Structure formats: structure tokens, C-alpha cells
Amino acid sequence: MRTKMKKCVSLLLTGTMILSLSALAGCKNEKNGTVSVTIGDWPTSSDSNAKVYEEYKNKMKEKYPNIEIIPDQSTGNATSYVARASSGQLPNLYVTSYTEIANAVKSGFCADITDYSTKFGYTQSINPLVLDKVTYDKKIYGIPSTAYALGLACNKKMFEQAGLVNEDGSLQYPSTYEEMIETAAKIKAATGQAGVVFPTMNNQGGWIFTCLAWSYGVKFMEQDESGTWKATFDTNECVQALQYIKDLKWKHNVLPDNAFIDVTEEKKLFASDQAAMYIIHPPERMLVKTYNMDKNNICFARVPEGPAGRYTLMGGNVYMISPQSTPEQIDAVFKFLDVIGHTPNVTDETSENYEMNYKHDYEENVPVMKETAFPLWINEARTSVDKAVRNKYVNVPDENFADYSNFEDVMVHEEEPVCAQELYSILDSGIQEVLTDSNADCGAIVKRMAKDFQVNHLDKLD
């Protein structure tokens, strides 16, 4: 699905694809009427949000004394998620990525929450583009937690060192992927550091590569009339996209020396002025919190344009409810979401939560942008209150995100519909090969990857 959007920006929350799990789901205490619910993705004591969540817990106790919140701090990858879900050990509320929804529904790992979504006002208030991603066979199985659209992060300090600044002080962002090579080369010549960094492992290289490939006109898969999925990326367009990555290393020498880089390492290189550009979504709080980067040096532009257009990737995380949850527990989960402010409803408590969250980020020196980049909510009452509170704590210059905010001519593309994580892993292997072997044959690699994806994944779909 491709949707053209003229305006949208960063994210409500960053997000990396986490699954929160628990050894025991919450239970209802029949003796005293208490409903116990286990809430996954609970911050650890060392997390900067720990105090905020403790306050949420206190508010729940005060407002709903019959509901007991059991924090769950465990996280896991897709493998452990499936294992625990299969044995009924998920928490009542857990977090997963949009790409896992179809598998969760087919495997019976989540509850149908259509009626509750309507009852609590979510169905009518969530951005339709995002609501569609949590809907399966016309039933709602999840509540969007975060949503993002990828952009180009640019290190302002390194751009300035390379003289890539306009008279008005704005950066000279590359508009196309070819211009990105030219920009990276100028920065490498001026600073001696990598002009751009690209992930290559933990499925993260493949994740970003799909965005680049769509801009070259690549279609990764298609479904025929019988419902059978076919890999369709053994094409010249995909070869050209992979050749682009190879040329960054061997022809233009603008990448870091290390060929095995994940998103965490990307952020470290960017924050420490060892790489000037990378594709990610804002506002990137980890750059400040973990690596002490000056938030004013974080700038974002639209993703570059390729031969087939300017494509970005939309993704994020979603709340889901375990199928073992009772109606009382599901009701309690929705009340918890209401208390934490993840709700379409606007109350004094909601405004207080906005205030607490934005003030917390402000005091933590984390970037607070003027507006939400990729809106989850469309009801005007909620968005207006959010904007009013947010504007009290904006702490970064508008111009640092202005190009990213201008989504004109950007095509928003959802993650691939089936086996997305498996596809990313396969693409990782191809990216690593071209970055470690100057003689690698991009055509042969693409052919092998397409066959691998078809035989080992698409052919095994039910």
C-alpha cells in the first residue's frame, strides 16, 4: 500500500521493534473482586521513564482501586515471543511490531478487541492509515502504540565543517540519492570521517534497504488471485539499489570501515561526529540520552529521491492483548491506556499526563519538536490539547526539522505485508556481502536472495 502524504513528521515515541513478555498473565481474584493485569514493556529502574510509569501505577490505584497493575519488564525477540505465546505466557498487554500482527492473529496469540476499541472511542479516532494496519479480516486486534516515517538524519556540526550551509543558516540537504553521495564525499574530504552510515545486521540493514529499493522501483512481492505470494525482486532495479550500497564503500569510500553495523552503532557514530548522515526516524532521544549529543546538532530532512521517486517507510509498534485475558482484564487494560494518556479521550488527567511527559523530556534535554511527525490520532480535541501542551516545552529550532516536516512529493510505503522480518534478514546477508567483497556480483546476490525468500519463506506460508 502506498499513500501520498503532504504533511507529517516524527514520532510519538521512538521505537525499535520490542516484544514484552511475561511468565504469568494477570488473573482475576474471585474472592475480593480485584482484577490483576500484567503490563508488558514496563521500564526497568535504570530507565529514565521508570518514575513516570510508577506515577501511572499510582494513578491507576487511586482511580481504580479494584485493578491491580503487575509490571512486567522482560523483553524478547520474535523467537522467544512465539515460544512464550504458544505456551500462554504473554502478559495481558504486550508490545510488538506491525509486521507481526498477521502472524499473531493466525496463531491465536492475541485477542479480538473490536468491541472494546469502539466502546472506548479508538476506532473513530485513530489515523485510518494506522488503524488499517491493526485490522485483520475486518476485526481489530491491536492499538497503535507508535508510528514513524523514515527521514534523513544530518549532523549539523559536520555539515558546517564541510561548508554545506545556506546563507540563511539552513543545511544543504541532499535531495536525491546521487546528491547524497556528493554530500557524503564533501564531508569525508573536510572531516576525514564517514559521510554516511548504513546498517548491515540484526535485520536493520534490510529494513532500511527496502526504503532505498522502493525508490529504485523495486517490488519485493506480489500475491496472485489464488492468494499465493511470489518474490518479485530479482530485477535490474534491485541490482541497481544493491550496487548503490556497494559503490558507497568501494567506489566512493564514504562509509565507516566496519561492515557490520546495527542501529545502535549507527547512532553512536553519528552522535560522536564519526558519521554525518543516516536514515532513521526522529526525534532520536538516544543520541542525547546515551551519547550526550548536542540536541541542536540533530537535523532531519526528507529521505532522498531515487529514480522511481521519493519513498519513505512507515512502521512502528502496536499494543496487543493476550488471548487468555478475561473481559474484565481487557476492560482494565483499556482503562490503563486511558490513564497513561494513550487514548482518544481528553480529560484533565490526559492534559496532566501530556504535561508530565513533555516536561520530563524537556528536563532530560531530549528533543521536543513543535508537532508530532506522524499522527496517531485524528480527533481534533485530542490533537489540539496535545499541541498546546507540547508547545510549552519545545526545545529545538523549527528549522532543524523543517525539510522533514515538508512531506510534499514523499510517498509513504508500509512495511512489506508478509514475512517482513525474514526478508530483512536475507537482505542483511546481501548487504554484508557487497561491503566485504569488492568483487561481489550484485546480480547473482539478488537472484540468490529472491530464491531464498521464495523457497524458505513464501512457499511455506499457509
Residue predicted with more confidence, 170 or 27: 170
Lowest-pLDDT range, 122-136, 251-265, 267-281?
Answer: 122-136
Tens digits of residue pLDDT in 365-393: 888 988 776 778 888 888 888 889 999 99
Residue predicted with more confidence, 74 or 6: 74
Task: Give me the CATH code for the 14-146+316-399 domain, please.
Answer: 3.40.190.10
Lowest-pLDDT range, 104-108, 249-253, 282-286?
Answer: 282-286
CATH class of 149-314+414-460: alpha beta
Residue predicted with more confidence, 200 or 16: 200
Question: What are the domain boundaries of the chain?
Answer: 14-146+316-399, 149-314+414-460
Tens digits of residue pLDDT in 225-240: 998 999 999 999 999 9
**pLDDT at position 12:** 28
Inform me whether the pLDDT recorded for 83 exceeds 80: no
Inform me whether the pLDDT recorded for 5 exceeds 90: no
Question: What is the arithmetic mean of pLDDT over 298-304?
Answer: 96
Question: What is the arithmetic mean of pLDDT over 209-224?
Answer: 97
**pLDDT at position 81:** 63
Same fold, 14-146+316-399 and 149-314+414-460: yes
Question: What is the arithmetic mean of pLDDT over 31-48?
Answer: 85
Tens digits of residue pLDDT in 132-190: 889 989 999 999 998 889 999 999 999 999 999 998 888 999 999 999 999 999 999 99
Q: What is the mean pLDDT of the chain?
A: 88
Inform me whether the pLDDT recorded for 13 exceeds 50: no
Tens digits of residue pLDDT in 325-378: 999 999 999 999 988 888 888 877 778 878 888 898 899 888 898 877 677 888
**pLDDT at position 4:** 39
What span, in angstroms and rounded, lies between the C-alpha atoms of 123 and 428? 37
**pLDDT at position 264:** 94
Residue predicted with more confidence, 380 or 450: 450
Inform me whether the pLDDT recorded for 11 exceeds 50: no
Percentage of the chain surpassing pLDDT 70?
90
